[in-house]
Amino acid sequence: MLWARWIIYGIPVTLAALTAWSARQAAENRAMRGTGIVIASGEGIAPTLNPFFPACEVDRRIAALLHEPLLRIGKDGRIAPALVEKWSWSQTSSVWFAGQTFAQAAAKELARFDAATRESLGLLNVELAGTELRFQFSRPGNQAPAKILTAIASAGPLPVEFVRVELSEAARGYHEFFMKNAVERDQVKRVWFDGANTYELAISGETVKFIQELNIFYENRPALRPVVRSLGRRPMLHRPVLELTLRRDAKFSDGREVTVDDVTASTVFVLDQSWPTASRDALRLIVGWEKKDARTLQITFKEIYGPALTAFIGLPVLPASWLARHAETFSRGSMRAFWDQPPPGTGAAFIESATPQKISINAGRQVEFLLDKSPVAIRMGFAMRAIDGFWPQWRDAVALATQRDVIVRSTAPRSRLLVLWNCRKPPLDDVRVRDALGLAVDRPAMIRDLMLGQGTIHEGIFRPGLWFSQPIASAAFAQDQSRQMLRDLGWSLQENNLMKDGKPFRFELLTVAGSPERAEIAGKLRKNWAALGIEVMVTTVAQGDLVNLRLLEHQFDAVLLGMDFETNWDQSPFWHSSQARSGLNFSGVADPTLDGLLEALRVEFDPEKVPSLAHDVENRIVALHPFLPLFSGGSPVALRRETLSKSAEMQTLLSGDAENLWHPMQP
């Protein structure tokens, strides 16, 4: 479910209700534990102990203790080593010709390149194999290959066409049968399977005849409900290669060394699941693994995708043997193995016991998570020093921040709440109207009333704190300016209704059903716009209908949504015009300038070049106003001052995420 990258319930407004336990029982347990750490939690969501897809805060904290990821975001906001100590990129690109004579002519042309030219292109090797000319580059990207193509244009290199086949059954057997009997099978240059029922072909040569033959093959098998579609043509076939080297001292908590077999098995495990993880899009581009030695792994991607490295940020690693032992259980969709037989992690800590009431972690000292109790008892236990930390509600957090012996921190924001406009529907199809509507909303007042002043307005699209994020000044609340902008566009107030050409300014604002917080926010938005004479109809819609009937079918004017912050700098899925018809670009924004900027950012591998491109993309999106950002906010945590100063574990336990991004919270 790709739409899950847009968050329906995940908003940083009212954080989930906390569980607690009896203060008396906690005090007794604390006396028995001595120097142990006690954490109170209970969000109404049972932990799964699945480090790949945490269900709640407890899962995130335990994962931070038990599992060191392959890569992390450092305190400077940049990609930093973790289990992986170093990484490097290279690239193999291929082009085909109508005959071997043409391929040989192209190879001779390239043989004339001197050493300086080869070095400037990063060209390491040229290999001729029949009608294929294969190039190896020291760095990924499409600029050097494009120059190569110009040099060999006279030899007539053929474009590569990509075809995707989707079936209702396992596809491999049907593909193999087709390839055994197809007349035009030699046109197939590469095949990649994307799950069990879907595969993609790279073809070059007599592509029209091949596609006709492929279509006839599947048309004769209607029970498979086949979908065969072209993904377009490209001048060459590119395969970027990422080489990862593990630390020599990387071990699991049981003492076993972490190897590339464990990395491969863990990544394949994630891909076999249906979890909408942020790294999934990049991981799905992997088409090959090559084990150079126990510590070095080469991963081949099927296309140029600059942010591919970010897929390994925060990615845990489990033993390949443990995953294999529980493969049948996982294939049935059960995650019970994480509870019944917790795997050793790559951190020093490990789970001693886990029940629905308590999870005990050995991290050099004992750490206990007590679950599913009342919020009142949590506060009592905290006041009696029976516990060391918990995640309070915002109203409680503000009061706690005034206490001398308590430290309150707010984690870095993971998501933000926004109003997404349907840029296809008048009058919202006018960027000036969208701009005016944004200026009419008193966002500081919403933060004051709903988040007790602890939220932030983040105008941009990238996660704050990353090396390519930029500070963007937030637009001030300016209702008079908004009113004047609408007047300049021909709107006039008639009997308290904003009118133009005899029609009232009226639109529908959708929000998900079952969320009183969202309903309250929608009501405040309606009041702000009503001050201009705009009629807003707030409609609550069940989550499934909101996605399937409204967003995917583009049947909406405006919708209140949450959106995840990601470390991935590719924003094409959300804002590129090609994704407006059936992708995640629900707003339908279509701008050629933005498309070009998004495409350039998507293929950039060099972290040093990302900020400039990302800023251009961000500035263009902000100027187009496809959405109105409302506010962002992290999860507040309350800590005993003396426990925090003495415990490194507490820093990890209660940090916002694996990167330990903390912010002081002001009372």
* Residue 118 falls inside a structural domain: no
390 in Cβ contact with 650 (< 8 Å): no
Q: How confident is the model at residue 652 (pLDDT cuts 50, 70, 90)?
A: low
**Structural domain boundaries, residue 356:** 18-67+347-411+635-651
Residue 615 CB coordination number (10 Å): 18
Residue 660 has pLDDT above 70, yes or no: no
406 shares its domain with 487:
no
568 shares its domain with 463:
yes
502 shares its domain with 576:
yes
Amino acid at 556: F
440 shares its domain with 586:
yes
CATH number for position 395: 3.40.190.10
Angle in degrees, 0-180, between the axes of helices 592-602 and 610-624, rounded to the nearest 10: 150
Residue 546 DSSP code: I
- Range scoring the smallest mean pLDDT among 36-45, 98-107, 110-119, 385-394: 36-45
176 in Cβ contact with 201 (< 8 Å): no
400 shares its domain with 473:
no
State the average pLDDT over residues 26-31. Answer: 44
* Residue 372 falls inside a structural domain: yes
Give the HSE-up count for residue 232: Cα atoms under 13 Å, Cβ half-sphere.
4
Residue 14 has pLDDT above 70, yes or no: no
367 shares its domain with 460:
no
* Residue 278 falls inside a structural domain: no
Paired residues of 390 in beta bridges:
40, 638
* Residue 257 falls inside a structural domain: no
* Residue 24 falls inside a structural domain: yes
CATH number for position 610: 3.10.105.10
The whole-number pLDDT of residue 631 equals 87
Residue 646 has pLDDT above 90, yes or no: no
| Interatomic CA distance for residues 395 and 400, integer angstroms | 9
386 shares its domain with 444:
no
Rounded to a whole number, what is the distance in angstroms from the first to the last CA of the chain?
Answer: 40
The whole-number pLDDT of residue 29 equals 45
Percent over 90 (pLDDT), the chain: 69
Which tens digit of pLDDT belongs to each residue from 170-183? 999 999 999 999 99
Q: How confident is the model at residue 279 (pLDDT cuts 50, 70, 90)?
A: confident
422 shares its domain with 390:
no
State the pTM of this model. 0.87
* Residue 242 falls inside a structural domain: no
Residue of 278, 313, 306, 303 whose CA lies nearest to 610: 306
Paired residues of 150 in beta bridges:
none
617 shares its domain with 639:
no
553 shares its domain with 643:
no
State the average pLDDT over residues 241-256. Answer: 96
* Residue 46 falls inside a structural domain: yes
625 shares its domain with 644:
no
The whole-number pLDDT of residue 187 equals 96
| Interatomic CA distance for residues 75 and 659, integer angstroms | 7
Residue of 656, 49, 52, 50 whose CA lies nearest to 316: 52
Which tens digit of pLDDT belongs to each residue from 484-497? 999 999 999 999 89
* Residue 256 falls inside a structural domain: no
- Range scoring the smallest mean pLDDT among 2-6, 49-53, 118-122, 264-268: 2-6
Question: Following DSSP, what letter does each residue of 242-263 receive, concatenated?
Answer: EEEEE-TT-B-TTSPBP-HHHH
| Interatomic CA distance for residues 266 and 343, integer angstroms | 12
657 in Cβ contact with 72 (< 8 Å): no
Q: Residue 504 has which token pair?
A: 């009232």
The count of structural domains within the chain is 2
State the average pLDDT over residues 580-595. Answer: 95
Q: Residue 528 has which token pair?
A: 């702000």
375 shares its domain with 506:
no
Mean residue pLDDT of the chain comes to 88
| Interatomic CA distance for residues 187 and 205, integer angstroms | 6
Rounded to 5 degrees, what are φ and ψ at 588? 75, 15
- Number of H helices and E strands in the chain, helices first, is 24, 29
Q: How confident is the model at residue 648 (pLDDT cuts 50, 70, 90)?
A: low
